């Protein structure tokens, strides 16, 4: 073939990145004549993707075609104990089998376990390995509901903040990223924009070229904080105090917008009284910020319109996280920022995609299970507890897909102890032999987003997208939807819904009366591939800007709720308040473990995804196994940059290399998630984090962790 011929043979197809990321990029994939993907790019025609991808997914083809991809079903070899293989030899614990045998084995064991212990002894475990709506949650949910298995509370990421946002607004909507250029003040609040939300950055840069100021509120000096006009290095877990302190100033100095407050909010008098308790002095003591910084921030926020807060989920991975998100989310309701295009707040835009979840997930099928109802709920954050301590019935079978809990779940030692149980029947559906997969009895190969069909909303923009497979599945890899449909057949589940195609499920998902999806049909989505869902007010006649008028609120009072009767009825504080975490410097435990640890995400990985690939490890090398410390804390412990240190608390310990730098304030240390196998001692950061849940929503508290650190030696090399 000549060069010209081979160029002609290239074909371009589009897909959608399905990683758990607010940007939900549209990707352009170039295929060669054999159908192999040879190039992946951001779609230049997508208004938010704007022609570029993050560094992780720009190298996605290394993942898809990695020689380490899991391509065939496997079974544990007889006599090989779980978790006993040396690093790098995990695959040798398994032998190849066919799909028929794998599915028959799972169906037979599930039936046997269900008969002997009840179906609730079977636990599904999944999160957002893919955010494709179908492969995230459809056929799998149907299967487990029909089985009568335990139900999983999927709390590991965003439920605390999500419920907090709903308690104020009743719907998850926010400022459109495409409106950010209009803003004159941007607060990035617990938002690592360069690391986790890079497609927002060009809009912020545009705003700054127009004169906007960017202030970052984050205990860690992220790249975004370095690039900002101002960085407020707040103490972890104290955001509720800061937001209440700002309210204090706004109200005391009469800087709030009384007309908007009267028209669009509920409970102002109660909030006023609460905010009065949060004097700038008191807030300075809690947050570690100066009185001037707090007062200055409040005044600038009130005086600048449009002002937008990019709040992200970092704030709610803490014990007081729900109250903190509530408090921050109320700020634009005091200043009336929502009335200006480019003003308001963005935590999530996912409310613009009100798919018919009941039709997708079919909880009604539980009535046909041996339970006759939905199985008991297990909080995914407490997997260690569930596997080791749950009784009545104990967990006897675990099916993991879309997740790698051996790395990402808190209290890792407990999780690993549970996964090593010889009497636990574990199935893992994966793209790679992850630290979770190596504990499986049956391993199933999963497709990547280039290999399967799906559709996606987003939580950081307003486009609904359809994703055709770009390439054929590698080896014998199969999508989640296929696996659970097959298993349903083998279990003898006769309901028609187990034979639905992806297209049928798309139609079911779109079958809703919700005005947001009016006019969006499967045919139209398949034809247009990308459809803008414009947020609309609940009742006709409202202004076009979200929350600029009362029609937008979907709370019980029909207004923004400063005071929540719903929370009060649950025995919770109806107003936002600051409560120090049981793992924070104010707590008794701090005498033993005085340092607050941020167990962070890595900029170059997606939680644990990509952390097994050499190219991605090279991008992350500078941060690998690093404990970042403040000089005060390091000097006191005789630690210098490059030293090997042990970080520990009552739950576990970890060896890292110290880096004494300006990334964290005194009293705080930081490290990043990676593969356990890439660490110095086989453990990841989650050996140190706890299964305690946040103030509401049952969410994880990764950022409320106390540790102590000591020097154990010099590093041989760094």
Ligand X SMILES: Nc1nc2c(c(=O)[nH]1)N[C@H]1C(S)=C(S)[C@@H](COP(=O)(O)OP(=O)(O)OC[C@H]3O[C@@H](n4cnc5c(=O)[nH]c(N)nc54)[C@H](O)[C@@H]3O)O[C@H]1N2
Q: Which positions lie near ligand SF4, rule CB under 6 A?
A: 17, 19, 21, 23-25, 53-54, 56-57, 198-199
Long-range contacts of 362-365 (CB under 8 A, 24+ apart): 362/141, 362/142, 362/145, 362/146, 362/497, 363/141, 363/145, 364/145, 365/142, 365/145, 365/146, 365/495, 365/497
Nearer to ligand SF4, 25 or 416 (CB): 25
Pairwise CA distance, residues 338 & 26, whole Å: 29
Q: Which residues contact 170 (CB under 8 A, 6 or more apart)?
A: 553, 554, 555, 556, 561
Could you give the string, one character per residue 336-375, with x where binding to Mo ion holds by CB under 5 A and - elsewhere? ----------------------------------------
69 touches ligand X (CB under 6 A): no
Pairwise CA distance, residues 521 & 525, whole Å: 6
602 touches Mo ion (CB under 5 A): no
Nearer to ligand X, 549 or 676 (CB): 676
Task: Find which of ligand X, ligand SF4, Mo ion, none residue 688 binds, CB within 5 to 8 Å per kind.
Answer: none
Nearer to ligand X, 173 or 446 (CB): 446
Nearer to ligand SF4, 260 or 466 (CB): 466
402 touches ligand X (CB under 6 A): yes
Q: How far is the CB of 468 from ligand SF4 (least distance, A)?
A: 17
244 touches ligand X (CB under 6 A): no
Nearer to ligand X, 275 or 598 (CB): 598
Q: How many residues bind ligand X (CB under 6 A)?
A: 61
Q: Which helix (H) or strand (E) segment is 236 a member of?
A: none
Nearer to Mo ion, 508 or 607 (CB): 607
Q: How far is the CB of 42 from ligand SF4 (least distance, A)?
A: 7
The pairing of beta strand 74-76 with beta strand 94-96: antiparallel
Segment interacting with ligand X (CB under 6 A) among 90-98, 547-555, 594-602, 635-643: 594-602
Segment interacting with ligand X (CB under 6 A) among 192-200, 418-426, 511-519, 540-548: 192-200
Indicate the length of the chain as a whole number: 718
Task: Find which of Mo ion, ligand SF4, ligand X, none residue 23 binds, CB within 5 to 8 Å per kind.
Answer: ligand SF4
Among 15, 404, 663, 701, binds ligand X (CB under 6 A): 404
Q: Which residue has the tokens 């949910």?
A: 141
CB 566 within 8 A of CB 640: no
Nearer to Mo ion, 311 or 474 (CB): 311
> Cα–Cα–Cα angle for 601, 603, 608, nearest 5°?
50
Pairwise CA distance, residues 380 & 481, whole Å: 21
Among 703, 706, 707, 709, binds ligand X (CB under 6 A): 703
CB 352 within 8 A of CB 457: yes
Among 59, 121, 312, 690, binds ligand X (CB under 6 A): 312
Provide the strand spans (E) within 262-367: 265-266, 307-311, 344-346
Cis, peptide link before residue 306, omega less than 30° from 0: yes
219 touches ligand X (CB under 6 A): yes
Nearer to ligand X, 316 or 335 (CB): 316
Q: How far is the CB of 24 from ligand SF4 (least distance, A)?
A: 5
Q: Half-sphere exposure of residue 334, counting CA atoms within 13 Å on the CB side?
A: 32
Nearer to ligand SF4, 562 or 610 (CB): 610
The pairing of beta strand 626-629 with beta strand 652-660: parallel
Among 53, 147, 157, 537, binds Mo ion (CB under 5 A): 157
Segment interacting with ligand X (CB under 6 A) among 306-314, 464-472, 622-630, 655-663: 306-314
Task: Find which of ligand X, Mo ion, ligand SF4, none residue 411 binds, CB within 5 to 8 Å per kind.
Answer: none
Among 46, 154, 429, 659, binds ligand X (CB under 6 A): 429
Q: How far is the CB of 225 from ligand X (least distance, A)?
A: 8
Pairwise CA distance, residues 418 & 420, whole Å: 5
Cis, peptide link before residue 717, omega less than 30° from 0: no
The pairing of beta strand 560-561 with beta strand 265-266: parallel
What phi and psi values does residue 381 have, to the nearest 5 degrees? -70, -20
Measure Cα distances from 652 to 317, 344, 523, 647 in Å.
20, 42, 53, 8
Q: Please report, as ranges, the residues that interact with Mo ion according to CB under 5 A.
A: 157
Residues binding ligand X (CB under 6 A): 20-21, 127-130, 135, 156-158, 189-192, 195-196, 217-220, 222, 234, 236-237, 239, 312-315, 317-318, 401-404, 408, 429-432, 434, 446-447, 480, 598-603, 605-609, 673, 685-686, 689, 702-703
């Amino acid at each position: 073939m000549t060069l010209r011929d081979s160029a002609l043979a290239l074909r371009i197809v589009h897909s959608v990145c399905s990683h758990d990321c607010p940007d939900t990029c549209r990707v352009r994939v170039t295929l060669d004549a054999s159908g192999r993907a040879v190039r992946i790019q951001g779609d230049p025609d997508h208004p938010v993707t704007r022609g570029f991808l993050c560094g992780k997914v720009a190298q996605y083809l290394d993942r898809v075609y990695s020689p380490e991809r899991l391509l065939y079903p496997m079974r544990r070899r007889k006599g090989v104990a779980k978790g006993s293989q040396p690093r790098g030899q995990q695959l040798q614990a398994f032998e190849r089998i066919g799909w028929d045998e794998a599915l028959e084995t799972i169906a037979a064991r599930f039936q046997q376990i269900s008969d002997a212990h009840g179906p609730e002894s079977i636990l599904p475990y999944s999160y957002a390995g893919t955010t494709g709506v179908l492969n995230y949650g459809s056929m799998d949910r149907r299967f487990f509901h029909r089985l009568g298995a335990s139900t999983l509370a999927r709390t590991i990421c965003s439920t605390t903040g999500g419920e907090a946002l709903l308690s104020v607004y009743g719907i998850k909507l926010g400022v459109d990223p495409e409106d950010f250029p209009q803003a004159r003040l941007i607060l990035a609040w617990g938002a690592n924009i360069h690391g986790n939300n890079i497609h927002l950055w060009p809009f912020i840069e545009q705003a700054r070229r127009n004169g906007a100021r960017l202030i970052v509120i984050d205990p860690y000096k992220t790249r975004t904080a370095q690039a900002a006009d101002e960085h407020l290095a707040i103490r972890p877990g104290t955001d509720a105090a800061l937001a209440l302190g700002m309210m204090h100033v706004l109200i005391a100095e009469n800087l709030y917008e009384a007309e908007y407050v009267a028209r669009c909010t509920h409970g102002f008098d109660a909030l006023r009284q609460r905010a009065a308790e949060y004097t700038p002095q008191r807030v300075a003591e809690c947050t570690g910020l100066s009185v001037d910084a707090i007062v200055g921030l409040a005044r600038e926020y009130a005086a600048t319109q449009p002002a937008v807060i990019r709040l992200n989920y970092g704030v709610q991975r803490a014990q007081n996280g729900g109250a903190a998100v509530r408090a921050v989310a109320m700020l634009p309701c005091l200043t009336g920022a929502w009335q200006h295009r480019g003003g308001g707040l963005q935590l999530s835009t996912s409310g613009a995609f009100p798919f018919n979840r009941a039709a997708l997930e079919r909880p009604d099928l539980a009535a046909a299970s041996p339970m006759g109802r939905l199985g008991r709920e297990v909080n995914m954050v407490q997997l260690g507890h569930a596997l080791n301590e749950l009784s009545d019935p104990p967990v006897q079978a675990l099916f993991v897909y879309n997740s790698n809990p051996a790395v990402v779940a808190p209290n890792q030692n407990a999780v690993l102890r549970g996964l090593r149980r010889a009497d636990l029947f574990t199935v893992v559906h994966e793209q790679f032999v992850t630290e979770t997969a190596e504990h499986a009895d049956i391993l199933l190969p999963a497709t990547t987003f280039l290999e399967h069909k799906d559709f996606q909303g987003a939580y950081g923009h307003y486009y609904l997208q359809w994703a055709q497979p770009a390439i054929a599945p590698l080896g014998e890899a199969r999508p989640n939807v296929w696996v659970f449909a097959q298993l349903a057949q083998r279990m003898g589940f006769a309901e028609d819904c187990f034979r639905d195609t992806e297209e049928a499920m798309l139609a079911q998902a779109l079958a809703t009366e919700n005005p947001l999806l009016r006019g969006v049909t499967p045919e139209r989505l398949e034809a247009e591939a990308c459809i803008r869902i414009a947020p609309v007010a609940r009742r006709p006649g409202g202004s076009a800007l979200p929350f600029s008028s009362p029609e937008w609120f979907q709370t019980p009072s029909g207004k923004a709720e400063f005071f929540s009767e719903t929370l009060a009825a649950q025995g919770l504080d109806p107003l936002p308040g600051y409560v120090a975490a049981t793992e924070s410097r104010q707590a008794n435990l701090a005498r033993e473990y005085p340092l607050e640890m941020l167990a962070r995400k890595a900029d170059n990985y997606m939680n644990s995804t990509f952390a097994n690939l050499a190219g991605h490890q090279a991008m992350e090398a500078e941060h690998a196994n690093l404990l970042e410390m403040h000089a005060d804390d390091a000097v006191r412990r005789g630690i210098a940059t490059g030293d090997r240190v042990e970080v520990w608390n009552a739950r576990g310990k970890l060896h890292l290399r110290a880096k004494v730098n300006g990334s964290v304030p005194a009293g705080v240390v930081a490290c990043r998630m990676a593969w356990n196998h890439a660490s110095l001692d086989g453990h990841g950061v989650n050996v140190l984090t706890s299964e305690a849940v946040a103030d509401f929503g049952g969410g994880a508290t990764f950022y409320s962790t106390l540790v102590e650190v000591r020097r154990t030696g010099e590093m041989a090399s760094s």
